[in-house]
Structure 1
């Protein structure tokens, strides 16, 4: 389990390289949901998502041998972008493994950095190839099974605790669980009365399945939200979530896409469905906690093209 001292140390290390993103009250979302809503705008982070924080923390922690070997990461989109961009900035050779189903824009950004890009038929195959490349000598920068990465992601929660007004409930999207593990650790230390809720999409339910099973288990992936599609969580992220998170909510893909459209209309934010899923989950939270809630939403990323979102909207009849 990481502690607040780990998160503070990560912030000191990564501060010159990342953006302290805005924490702002949203009048549009407040009107939409009927309770005060504050947003943490990680879609304005360098590389378009919170992932730059954890990737930078891990890259700065490399020893000489690890730097010389080069790094490898597996990603559904945002971790790969973050590692490729930040490795180029820090002069580290990077290899990124992604499924072909990853957003075309994400693939193009990784290629543009000069990183070596390896594409696979699915996320399970991507994780397997990454393991082989690690065995061949590359240094793994895992998207969530790494305390240094989690501490880096936890700086989101540290900033939210310092910058937001009164909050009762904070919602955080879950893929492999690195973001929510770090955010929950930071909030538990800084604002111990605040409830933290995780959000997954149907077909990418690695954490909720782990909680039901008493530990990480492999899951079949079918969600269109590839940036949340981890084939399993890690023991590390599972332990943080089971100890610090109130509940993990699951929403349909269609509702996650609808949430992205609502965020565009009511909050003036262009997000990917990995962030859009927060809105249907927020409605579930309000049904549970009743009046008096003050919500915080970690808007995790915005790396979806107009064409992507419009295609999903048409697929689910949301046009």
Structure 2
């Protein structure tokens, strides 16, 4: 299990390389939900998502031989962008393997940053390709199955714990589980009374299926939210969520897209569906906890184009 000492060490390591993003009350979301809401704005992070933290922590942990050989990552979008950009900043050669379903903008940004981008038919094939490259000598920067990466993502929770006013419940999106594992570890140490809730979209339910099965299981992916679409969680992230997280809630793609539009209107931030899914889940948490709820939302990223969100809104009939 990742402890607060590892997270604090990661915070010291990545300071100066990443942004200490704002933690702020949201009057608009508070009015919308009827309870106080605080947002942690990771969409303002370098590369547009929290992923810069874990990628930077891992890159800075490499020895000279590993740096010289280069790194490889699998990504549905944001992890690939983060690794490409941060590797370029640290003068490390990067290869990013993405499924063909990854957003075109993510592929473009990773390539423009100087990474070698390889596209595969699906996420399972992407992981297999990355494993072959690891066997050839590249260092794998896993998006979630790595304690160094999880500690880096946990710095989100470290900052939230130190910067937020009183909170009762914090909601975190779940793909492979690296972000929620790190955030939950930090909050358990610094805000032990706060409940942590995970949020997935239907068709990207790797963690909720794992919790039901008692361990990681492969899942079929069908959600439009590619940045949450891990083919399975890892034992490492599963163990953290099973021990530290209240529950993982599942919302529909339609609800996640509607959440994007509501966040734009009421919070004045432009997010991707991986963050939009937090809002419908927050309504459920509010209804369970009652009027005394004090909700924190980790707004994980904003790497969706206007055209993407409007296309999804039209597809799902969201106004």
**TM bracket (short chain):** over 0.9
Corresponding residue number in structure 2 for 1:315: 315
Instruction: Tell me how far 1:123 sits from its aligned partner.
Output: 1.0
2:38 alignment partner, SS class: strand
RMSD over aligned CA atoms reads 0.5
1:128, distance to aligned residue in structure 2 (A):
1.1
2: CA distance, partners of 1:67 / 1:131? 18
* Bigger Cα displacement from structure 2, 207-216 vs 125-134: 125-134
1:80-139 deviations in whole A, cap 9, x for unaligned? 000000000000000000011111111110010111000011111111111111111111
Unpaired stretches in structure 1, ≥5 consecutive residues: none
Q: Which residue pairs with 1:141 in the alignment? A: 141
Do residues 94 (structure 1) and 94 (structure 2) align? yes
What residue in structure 2 maps to residue 172 of structure 1?
Answer: 172
Pairs within 5 Å for 1:65-76: 65-76=65-76
- CA shift, 1:291, in A, is 1.9
SS, match of residue 20 in structure 1: coil
TM-score by length of 1: 0.99
CA distance in structure 1 between the aligned counterparts of 2:57 and 2:217, rounded to whole angstroms = 27
CA distance in 1, matches of 2:127, 2:230: 9
- The residue number in structure 2 matching 1:60 is 60
In the alignment, which residue of structure 2 is the partner of 1:279? Answer: 279
Residue 303 of structure 2: aligned partner: 303
Give the deviation of 1:289 after TM superposition.
1.2
Aligned to 1:112: 112
Q: What is the distance in 1 between the residues matched to 2:169 and 2:34?
A: 14
1:286 Cα deviation (Å)? 1.3
Question: Where do residues 197-208 of structure 1 align in structure 2 (5 Å cutoff)?
Answer: 197-208=197-208
Which residue number in structure 1 is paired with residue 186 of structure 2?
186
What does 1:121-270 align with in structure 2 at a 5 Å threshold? 121-270=121-270
SS of structure 2 residue aligned to 1:199:
strand
**Shift of residue 315 of structure 1?**
0.4
Partner of 1:26: 26
How many residue pairs match? The answer is 319
Question: How far apart are residue 200 of structure 1 and its match?
Answer: 0.2
Query: 2: CA distance between counterparts of 1:218 and 1:20?
Result: 35
Deviation at 1:16, TM superposition (A): 1.1
Structure 1 outlier segments of 4+, above 2 Å: none
Structure 1 equivalent of residue 11 of structure 2 = 11
Deviation at 1:250, TM superposition (A): 0.2
- 2-structure distance, mates of 1:142, 1:195: 27
Report the Cα distance in structure 2 between the residues aligned to 1:204 and 1:81, rounded to whole angstroms. 20
Tell me the CA shift for residue 294 of structure 1: 0.3
State the distance in 1 between where 2:215 and 2:69 align: 33
1:167 counterpart SS class: coil
Gaps of 5+ in 2: none
1:20, CA displacement in angstroms? Answer: 0.2
